Amino acid sequence: MLKLEARPEPSRFWGLASPLLALAITVVIGTLLFIALGKDPVRGLQVFFWEPLSSGYRLGELAVKATPLLLVALGLAVCFRSNVWNIGAEGQYIIGAVAAGGVALLADKDTGRWIVPAVMLAGMLGGMAWASVTALLRDRFNANEILVSLMLVYVADLVLSWLVFGPWKDPAGYNFPQTKTFEAVTQIPRLMAGSRINIGLVIVLALAAALWVFLFRTRAGFAQQVGGMAPAAARYAGFSSRKALWLALLVSGGAAGLAGALEVAGPIGQLNPYVPAGYGFAAIIVAFVGRLHPVGMVFSAVLMSMFYIGGELAQSRLGLPKSLTGVFQGLLLFTLLACDTLMAYRIRWMPALKEA
């Protein structure tokens, strides 16, 4: 029989190289998948891993996709390092988008540019408010934050649907479930002409640097991580577990809400039922592939955005379903989990015991 046996000391090298091995295995399985679908595997891999990098415009689109993924992942990293399992960042993203959209709808042609920071702040506060529901239920009633945060995703989706099908629906929108297009004054400023890259990219890179400082150079960041790794030691040191819980969820919710605000006041420009793009769930993969480290998550966010763009290109170029994006995301996550398991455990062959 086969048995998993804990290794005396996991390899530090494979701790860093495991995501690269997982990516390589994902590419191999993806090649076999293209063959099984009757497509040229070389062309398929080119669509996913080369074409998103092949022009300046596509690099810009890569940055547009990577910005919300990285922003949500940064907040999730604080939660996961604190042993708080926030699986509902997608719901916080949606409510952040709704709150930001509500402020944007107040603008008219005479509104000044002050509305832009107001929109972003509303998104952050909306995401934090939605995450605080999970924090409150976990704090006061010891409810499981995984289930609560996940179920709130569906509630957030219903709130968005009710608004765009009901009170916020554009009366001049030919009965489509969407708000009116936001005024140009609410548009998140772009970094360059001819590209959809906006200041969200600068904001998220600055936040990645700030998170690195917080986690590895401050006492508060140390306390946050100790509470996640060793709760008993944290209590002995006088660190508050309640404070760690609230801080983790509020930071994560604020980051997800800001990502929603940057999307609806940036590339999308209105609220509609398609605002939920799965970024909140994909960011979980980004966080773990990046080893919950701000620098690693920058690279994993770029990789995940390549999967998004590759899936869109595979649909138009190869006639494959767009759901192939989710297949590659899932493959990457499961291969990473397998690699991490074998990094921490070794497989032993144990002879079967003979019956007496």
CA angle 207–191–297, rounded 5-degree value: 30
The answer to whether residues 286 and 340 belong to one domain is no
pLDDT tens, residue by residue, 71-83:
999 999 999 999 9
What's the confidence (pLDDT) of residue 107? 95
Q: Give residue 354's pLDDT band: very low, low, confident or very high (50, 70, 90).
A: low
Q: Is 241 a residue whose pLDDT tops 90? A: no
pLDDT tens, residue by residue, 247-275:
999 999 999 999 999 999 999 999 999 99
Q: Is 324 a residue whose pLDDT tops 80? A: yes
The answer to whether residues 276 and 347 belong to one domain is no
pLDDT tens, residue by residue, 273-314:
999 989 999 999 999 999 999 999 999 999 999 999 988 888
pLDDT tens, residue by residue, 107-138:
998 999 999 999 999 999 999 999 999 999 99
Tell me the torsion sign for CA atoms 241, 243, 244, 249. Answer: positive
The answer to whether residues 30 and 173 belong to one domain is no
- CATH code of residue 81: 1.10.3470
Q: Give residue 15's pLDDT band: very low, low, confident or very high (50, 70, 90).
A: confident
Provide the residue range defining the domain that includes 219.
40-319
Alpha-carbon distance of 89 to 239, in angstroms, equals 26
Structure tokens that stand for 124 in this block: 């952050």
- Give the count of domains, the chain: 2
Q: Give residue 148's pLDDT band: very low, low, confident or very high (50, 70, 90).
A: very high
Alpha-carbon distance of 23 to 274, in angstroms, equals 29
Q: Give residue 16's pLDDT band: very low, low, confident or very high (50, 70, 90).
A: confident
The answer to whether residues 190 and 328 belong to one domain is no
**Predicted structure pTM score:** 0.93
The answer to whether residues 345 and 293 belong to one domain is no
The answer to whether residues 315 and 327 belong to one domain is no
Q: What is the mean pLDDT of residues 157-179?
A: 95
The answer to whether residues 1 and 83 belong to one domain is no
Helices (H), the chain: 12-36, 41-49, 56-81, 89-104, 115-141, 145-165, 200-217, 219-229, 231-236, 241-263, 279-289, 294-317, 324-344
The answer to whether residues 73 and 28 belong to one domain is no
What's the confidence (pLDDT) of residue 301? 96
pLDDT tens, residue by residue, 182-237:
999 999 999 988 889 999 999 999 999 999 999 999 999 998 988 777 777 777 78
The answer to whether residues 84 and 140 belong to one domain is yes
Q: Across the strands, what pairs with 5?
A: 346
What's the confidence (pLDDT) of residue 282? 95
% of the chain exceeding 90 in pLDDT: 73
What's the confidence (pLDDT) of residue 345? 87
The answer to whether residues 167 and 46 belong to one domain is yes
Highest-scoring range by mean pLDDT, 9-13, 63-67, 231-235: 63-67
% of the chain exceeding 70 in pLDDT: 99
The answer to whether residues 220 and 293 belong to one domain is yes
The answer to whether residues 96 and 184 belong to one domain is yes
